[in-house]
């Protein structure tokens, strides 16, 4: 096991090594562009040693914002042939080219965290970002709001591509027009750690449907192949709105619109409670069915500032079932796969969000255990993209920006005196 100081240095070196000057790629090879929530986590990590660079990361992310307020999940700043699907498949006609969907909006939360590290210097940066973040959150309410539940139009939008949450809805995606294509991800990473071939056919069918309608939000809402309310997206946006509200207050901006969003979302997330599994669950808008999936983002209620004692009991059961918390899917489920991306592995970034929520809501022992588990994974297996929660072995890409970032900002034992 490496000394903590060495790991801190390694984490900073990984972030510098993935820094493309203004934005940070998640890792070389597998993900050679700017990804939305990866970048926001990068900003959270940069803030521990270079606050100026942290602001720049968020500013570059917002430079890809569409006119309708959407902040895309990938910004293709520079051409690279190592990734599929590239700008032509998306056909989004933006400059720089982008994908046509968004990703979990952690940016406002980390902007607030960066601002609070150095409020005076951060004031003009925050003031410039605020209207952009507000427009993005408004886009969610205009286009991804179903009765206060926040929906995703593509599993990639959730950031949890192949989670069991989507199995039922993905089963209804027609792949008859997909044709042939070549994946690049499985040449970088062991295929059994990645989504299946059938998943990819369905991912591409949804991309082509979006491209065909010119990424028209009304059309996708009415008849797109996939529309599922996501506990992860819902809790993350609710939390982000609470942080945006704090920023509005600090900047002397009007707060009424944001307060209204928070009230609507607090009602909406209650609708995601599935009594059959005793947890927050994905909900398919097209069929009215729950996904029947207890996933790690079912436990982001505390991060969103909501208490739930039943969830706390389930959290304890699942954490006990593995050696290294917290698995992305319930190990008691037959769909659990310890290595396969979002169907079982432990992800440092989700652990961080859950841990921040637990800490803030007073569940300090659970928060500290999760932080220690995450630190132990990194100490044992390095800065991998994700980890097998049973034996702690590394999975996915390596030298990963967001794992380095959460080590620096949350998991490293040298930072515990600062709390979450």
Nearer to ligand DGY, 82 or 278 (CB): 82
Q: How far is the CB of 185 from ligand DGY (least distance, A)?
A: 6
Residues from 44 through 73 that contact ligand DGY (CB under 6 A): 73
Q: Does 110 bind ligand DGY (CB under 6 A)?
A: no
Q: Does 202 bind ligand DGY (CB under 6 A)?
A: no
Nearer to ligand DGY, 73 or 343 (CB): 73
Q: Say how far apart CA 304 and CA 236 lie, in whole Å.
A: 7
Q: Say how far apart CA 65 and CA 71 lie, in whole Å.
A: 4
Residue 88 token pair? 């032509």
Q: How far is the CB of 248 from ligand DGY (least distance, A)?
A: 30
Residue 122 token pair? 């951060």
- Mark residues 70-109: x for contact with ligand DGY by CB under 6 A, - for none: ---x------------------------------------
Nearer to ligand DGY, 59 or 89 (CB): 89
Contact between residue 350 and residue 341 where contact means Cβ atoms under 8 Å apart: no
Residues from 357 through 386 that contact ligand DGY (CB under 6 A): none
Three-state secondary-structure class, residue 274 = strand
Q: Residues 19, 165, 185, 281: which binds ligand DGY (CB under 6 A)?
A: 185
Question: Out of 161, 185, 314, 379, which one is annotated catalytic?
Answer: 161
Give the bridge partners for 387, in sequence order: 346, 394
Nearer to ligand DGY, 60 or 102 (CB): 102
Question: Out of 38, 337, 385, 398, which one is annotated catalytic?
Answer: 385
> Strand 34-35 vs strand 74-75: parallel, antiparallel, or unpaired?
antiparallel
Closest by alpha carbon to 31, among 77, 82, 78?
Answer: 82
Nearer to ligand DGY, 282 or 306 (CB): 282
Three-state secondary-structure class, residue 27 = strand
Q: Which residue is nearest to ligand DGY (CB)?
A: 156
Residues from 138 through 177 that contact ligand DGY (CB under 6 A): 156, 161
Residue 134 token pair? 């507000």
Q: How far is the CB of 104 from ligand DGY (least distance, A)?
A: 11
Q: How far is the CB of 416 from ligand DGY (least distance, A)?
A: 31
Residues 302, 305, 310, 314: what is their CA dihedral angle, to the nearest 10 degrees? -10
Cα atoms in the 13 Å half-sphere on the side-chain side of 156: 21
Q: Does 281 bind ligand DGY (CB under 6 A)?
A: no
- The burial of 63, by beta-carbon neighbours within 10 Å (0-12 exposed, 13-18 middle, 19 or more buried), is given as middle
230 is annotated as an active-site residue: no
Closest by alpha carbon to 236, among 291, 158, 328, 161?
Answer: 158
Please tell me what DSSP assigns to residue 409.
Answer: I
Q: How far is the CB of 361 from ligand DGY (least distance, A)?
A: 30
Residue 377 token pair? 């994974």
50 is annotated as an active-site residue: no
Q: How far is the CB of 257 from ligand DGY (least distance, A)?
A: 30
Q: How far is the CB of 170 from ligand DGY (least distance, A)?
A: 15
Give the bridge partners for 346, in sequence order: 327, 387
Length of the chain: 420
* Chain position carrying tokens 């400059």: 95
Nearer to ligand DGY, 101 or 354 (CB): 101
By annotation, the residues acting in catalysis are: 161, 385
Binding site residues, ligand DGY, CB under 6 A = 73, 156, 161, 185
């Amino acid at each position: 096991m490496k000394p903590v100081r060495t790991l801190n240095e390694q984490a900073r070196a990984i972030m510098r090594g993935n820094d493309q000057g203004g934005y940070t790629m998640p890792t070389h090879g597998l993900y050679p562009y700017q990804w939305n929530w990866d970048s926001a986590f990068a900003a959270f990590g940069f803030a521990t040693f270079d606050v100026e660079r942290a602001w720049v990361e968020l500013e570059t992310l917002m430079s890809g914002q569409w006119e309708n307020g959407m902040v895309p999940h990938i910004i293709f700043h520079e051409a690279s042939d190592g990734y599929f699907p590239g700008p032509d498949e998306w056909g989004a006609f933006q400059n720089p080219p982008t994908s046509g969907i968004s990703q979990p909006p952690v940016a406002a939360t980390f902007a607030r965290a960066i601002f609070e590290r150095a409020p005076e210097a951060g004031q003009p940066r925050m003031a410039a970002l605020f209207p952009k973040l507000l427009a993005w959150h408004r886009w969610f309410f205009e286009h991804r709001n179903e009765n206060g539940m926040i929906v995703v139009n593509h599993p990639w939008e959730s950031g949890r591509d192949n989670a069991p949450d989507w199995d039922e809805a993905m089963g209804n995606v027609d792949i008859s027009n997909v044709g042939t294509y070549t994946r690049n991800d499985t040449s970088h990473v062991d295929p059994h750690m990645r989504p299946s071939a059938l998943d990819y056919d369905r991912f591409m069918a949804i991309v082509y449907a979006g491209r065909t309608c010119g990424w028209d939000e009304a059309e996708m809402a009415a008849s797109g192949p996939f529309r599922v309310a996501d506990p992860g997206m819902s809790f993350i946006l609710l939390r982000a709105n609470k942080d945006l509200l704090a920023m509005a207050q600090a900047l002397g901006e009007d707060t009424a619109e944001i307060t209204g969003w928070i009230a609507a979302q607090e009602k909406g997330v209650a609708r995601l409670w599935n009594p059959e599994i005793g947890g927050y669950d994905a909900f398919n808008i097209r069929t009215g069915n729950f996904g029947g999936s207890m996933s790690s983002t079912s436990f982001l209620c505390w991060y969103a500032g909501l208490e739930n004692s039943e969830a706390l009991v389930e959290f304890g059961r699942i954490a006990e079932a593995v050696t290294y918390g917290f698995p992305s899917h319930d190990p008691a489920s037959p769909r659990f796969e310890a290595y396969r991306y979002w169907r079982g592995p432990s992800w440092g970034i989700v652990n961080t969000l859950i841990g921040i929520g637990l800490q803030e809501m007073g569940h300090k022992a659970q928060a500290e255990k999760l932080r220690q588990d995450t630190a132990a994974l990194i100490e044992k297996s390095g800065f991998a993209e994700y980890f097998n929660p049973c034996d702690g072995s590394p999975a996915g890409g390596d030298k990963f920006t967001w794992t380095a970032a959460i080590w620096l900002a949350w998991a490293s034992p040298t930072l515990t005196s600062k709390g979450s």
